[in-house]
Amino acid sequence: MLQVSYIRDNREQVLQGLAVKNFKQPELVEEVVELDEKRRQTQNQVDNVSAQANAAAKQIGELMRSGKKEEAEAVKANTGKWKEEIKQLNEQLAAIEEDLSSKIVLLPNLPHASVPKGITPEENEVVLENGNKPELPANALPHWELAAKYNLIDFELGVKITGAGFPVYKGKGAKLQRALISFFLDEAEKAGYSEVMLPLMVNEASGFGTGQLPDKEGQMYFVGQDNLYLIPTAEVPITNLYRDVILKGDELPVKNCGYTPCFRREAGSYGAHVRGLNRLHQFDKVEIVQVVHPDESYNVLEQMSTHVQSLLQKLGLPYRVLRLCGGDMSFASALTYDMETWSAAQQRWLEVSSVSNFETFQSNRLKLRFRNAEGKTQLAHTLNGSALALPRIVATLLENNQTETGIKIPEALVPYTRFDMID
C-alpha cells in the first residue's frame, strides 16, 4: 500500500510510476488526494469539538468536587450539542476513511527507475544468461514421460485422491524432493538466513499484510469453516511474523528462510503449458525473506538474486535472469527479477524463482517499522525470493540430465539424495 503522505507530496512521480506499471485507473490518485484532504479537515473538526467537550467534562468534575453543583449543571447545558456533533463528524470521518482505504489499496506499488516499460512478458529485459543448454538426442523425453518411465511421480494417483495438480511423488522421486528441500535450506542457512517452520494456514489479517487480500482472494484456497487461507507461498507467514513490529535499528537486517508446501488455485489456467510439473495446485518451495533498512534494499536485492543464481549454478542448470517490465510485475513489487531455467526437452524457459523488492509497500500494510538513527519510527523495506520452487527445478533436472542409462543427479545434490543416478 502506498503512503498517502507520499502521494500527496509526489503526485507527478506517482502518476508516471503508475503509467510504467500500465495501471488503468490513474484518476484514483486524484481521488485519494482529495479524500485525504477531506479526511484531515474532518479530523480537525472532530478534534476541536472533542477538545471543547473534554475541557467541559474536566471542569464539571472540578466543580462537582468543590460542591458547586449549579455551576456544573450550567456547564452541562452545552455538552449535548457537542456530543451530537462529535457523533455525526465521526460517522462522516469513518465513511471518508473507508472510502479512502478502499481506493488506496487499489494502487499498485511504484516501479523502481530501472524497470523497463512494457506490458507483456516478451518485453521483460534479459539481464543475463548463464550455462550451456544441453543438446538432447531426438528421442529425448519431456519430464512427465520420464517421471512415468522411472516411476518417480504419479499424476493419476494424485487425481484419484485429490484432483489434477496434486502429484504423488514416489521412490526416488520423493527422495529427490526431500533432498532439494534440505539442499536449499542448507544453502540459505550458509547465506545467513535463519530457518523458520510455519503454519500453512493464515488468517485474513496476514493475507492482507502481504497483499494477497483483498485483490487476489480467488487465488488462495479458503477454509470457510475456520476463516483461514492456505498459504500460496511462505512469504505470507514469514513476512507476517513482523506485522505490527517496531524493530530496533540494530536488529536489521532480518533474514529468514523457510520451507513450506504452497497451495494455489490457479483458476482458469489449463492447457498444454501446464502439463506435468509445469503448474500445480500444490508444490514445495523454500523461500527467503529479508527486512532491511531502506538504504540497503537494492543492494540486498542483488545479493538475493546472486544467492538464487548460485543455487542454479550448483545444480548445473542453464538459466537466465529477467528484469520484469512494468506490466508483468506483481502488484506489490517495485523491482522483480525472475529466474528461468532452460527446459531442454520442452524447449522453453521455465520460471523457477522470482526475487522482489517491495520497498515500503508491504511494510506500510504490515505496520512493520524500525527505529532510525534519529530515534523515530520509519517503515522498513521488505524483500523476498524463491530459493527455490521445486517442481520446475525437478522438471528441468529430469529433462536436461537424461541419458541412455538413466538420469544423472548433480554432484551437489548427491550427499542429499544418496544416489547419483535414477535408473
Partner RNA sequence: GGAGAGGUGUCUGAGUGGUCGAAAGAGCACGCCUGGAAAGUGUGUAUACGCCAAAAGUGUAUCGAGGGUUCGAAUCCCUCCCUCUCCGCCA
Q: Which residues of this chain interact with RNA, rule CB under 7 A?
A: 4-5, 36, 40, 43-44, 46-48, 50-51, 53-58, 60-61, 64-65, 76, 79-80, 83, 87, 246, 369, 371, 377
Whole-angstrom Cα distance, residue 157 to residue 165?
11
CA–CA–CA angle 116, 355, 108 (5° rounding): 60
Least distance CB 74 / RNA (angstroms): 11
At 183, phi and psi to the nearest 5? Answer: -60, -50
Least spacing, CB of residue 228 vs RNA, in Å: 10
354 a known binding residue?
A: yes
Closest CB to RNA among 55 and 164? 55
- By beta-carbon proximity to RNA, the closer residue of 80 and 163 is 80
Beta carbon of residue 227, minimum distance to RNA (angstroms, whole number) = 8
Is residue 313 classed as helix, strand or coil in its secondary structure? helix
DSSP state of 259: E
Q: With respect to RNA, which residue has the nearer C-beta, 36 or 284?
A: 36
CB of 88 to RNA, least distance (A): 11
Give the nearer residue to RNA in terms of CB position, either 56 or 274: 56
| Smallest distance from RNA to CB 237, Å | 15
Which positions ≥6 away from 264 have C-beta within 8 Å? 219, 220, 232, 280, 281, 282, 283
CB nearer RNA, residue 36 or residue 340 = 36
- Could you give the CA distance from residue 390 to residue 258 in angstroms, rounded to a whole number? 13
Q: Any known ligand binding at 256?
A: no
Question: Are residues 79 and 57 in contact, defined by beta-carbon separation less than 8 angstroms?
Answer: yes
User: Is the Cβ of residue 86 or residue 412 nearer to RNA in the bound state?
Assistant: 86
Measured CA distances, 194 to 200, 249, 255, 288, 377 (Å): 18, 19, 6, 9, 25
Secondary structure (3-state) at 372: coil
- Give CA–CA dist 386/261, Å, rounded: 12
Complex with RNA: residue 105 or 136, whichever CB lies closer: 105
352 is in an annotated binding site: yes
Cα separations (Å) of 86 from 83, 92, 228, 282?
A: 5, 10, 37, 52
Q: Please, where are the H alpha helices in 121-221?
A: 143-149, 155-161, 172-190, 204-209
User: Taking the complex as a whole, how short is the minimal distance between the CB of residue 256 and RNA, in angstroms?
Assistant: 20
**287 among annotated binding-site residues:** yes
Q: How far is the CB of 38 from RNA (least distance, A)?
A: 12
Pair type for strands 246-247 and 369-371: parallel
Q: Is 265 annotated as a binding residue?
A: yes
Binding residues for ATP: 264-266, 351-354
Binding residues for L-serine: 233, 264, 287, 384
Binding residues: 233, 264-266, 287, 351-354, 384
